[in-house]
Amino acid sequence: MRITVQKYGGSSVQSETLRQKAAGHVKSAMQSGFKVVVVVSAMGRMNDPYATDTLLNLISEGDSALPKRERDMLQSTGEVISSVVFTNLLIAEGLKASALTGKQAGFRTTEEFGSARITEMDTRHLRKRLEEVDVVVVAGFQGESESGETTTLGRGGSDTSATALGAALQAEFVDIFTDVDGIMTADPRIVGDARPMKTLTYTEVSNLAHQGAKVIHPRAVEIAMHAKVPIRIRSLSSASNGGTLITTAQTHTPGSDVREGLVTGITYVRRITQVIVPKQQEDMQAASVIFERMAAEGVSVDFINIDPTSIVFTVPEGKSQLVEQNLNDMNYPQKLLQGCAKVSAVGAGMTGVPGVVSRMTSALYQAGIDILQATDSHTTIWVLVRDEEMHGAVNALHGVFHLADSQNHERRISE
């Protein structure tokens, strides 16, 4: 049995017209000889009747009396509704289709309500349904704990549902349908000449996702990478199988497209606060004490630089007041700079290559952009800039690495 998994997010099943387009992709896969497993998110976005945020607005966000268990029961219903509505459309189109909840599809999870992790996939029931019908539509974002409780998988849960099913079913592809033509070299709303990339490795996409790219969640990429299931990021509006193929570097066939450029893409994260704590020479444990307190308060710290005179790190802007209060409680003076953005250049091609940082800093200097902080890893270089300079920084870096010119970053490989 040849199986492919297709995932449709909330914006892809928001209206009857969009659901018809999705049904067209299902039919196309069937015509190619596949049994199709469809994973759907709740329909639409905020203010749409059955979107997750709309459902949560039925309860008071400020009412902490409602346990997370009941919140999961509520917010999991949007995907169930979506799965039944889409199944109804497929049946009306003459297809043999069936809907399953996450529990029925075999998702076993931890009992961390709102952010459960998948512990096991038992797809026996799903496989049996696939023998009886052509399409099984699964409610994404949800599962069942060992004790039988309904759980949700947190941010990116439907992406994670799709790749977990792809891995468990040994699918030939997991197709993630979006409103863009694939993963872009930068946000096209900011960079006018951003272009879609044909092929990326799992590692490159995971890095892009961790650094702010919104097309796919990094948890989903990691599952697919371990199972070696190819992912395709495709446009709902396109009838072709184009878009971006995510796979291992070793699986490229002769003649496939592979980049040889230093940098794959430019991403950004906004609404960041930089925290600078002057360091007393005699206080050798200051960093350890501060970061232990941040962890205890549930504050995620990033962009850490420690030198003999200061401890510098960043936090989400929404945590600024909490960080300031805790540092004051510990008698650590501090300077907080709100309204920052982290801009990242990601690419496996930069590993071991000298001069990449100098090209970045020169490009930003020539654009008149002040670098507040910088650090790097083997495959990513980050700079912190003021939020109002983020657009200029992204465009400057996209330009200096010639990412708009596909000829500079792709070559034909032949044996």
Binding-site residue numbers for ATP are 7-10, 178-179, 189, 214-215
Q: For residues 100 and 137, what is the distance between their CA atoms, to the nearest angstrom? A: 6
Please, what is the angle between helix 286-296 and helix 320-329, to 10°? 130
Binding-site residue numbers for substrate are 52, 79
Asked whether the beta carbons of 236 and 242 are under 8 A apart, the reply is no
Asked whether the beta carbons of 9 and 42 are under 8 A apart, the reply is no
Q: CB neighbours (10 Å) of residue 205?
A: 28
Q: For residues 89 and 13, what is the distance between their CA atoms, to the nearest angstrom? A: 11
Q: Tell me the β-bridge partners of 375.
A: 382
Burial bucket for residue 357 (CB in 10 Å: 0-12, 13-18, 19+):
middle
323-352: b or e for each residue (b if 16 or more CB lie within 10 Å)? beebbeeeebebeebeebbbbbbbbbbbee
Please, what is the angle between helix 157-168 and helix 218-227, to 10°? 10
Asked whether the beta carbons of 176 and 7 are under 8 A apart, the reply is yes
Pairing type for strands 265-278 and 335-346 reads: antiparallel
Please, what is the angle between helix 16-31 and helix 77-92, to 10°? 60
Binding-site residue numbers are 7-10, 52, 79, 178-179, 189, 214-215
Structure tokens at 182: 């694939």
H helices within 254-389, ranges in order?
Answer: 286-296, 320-329, 356-366
Q: What is the CA radius of gyration of the chain?
A: 23
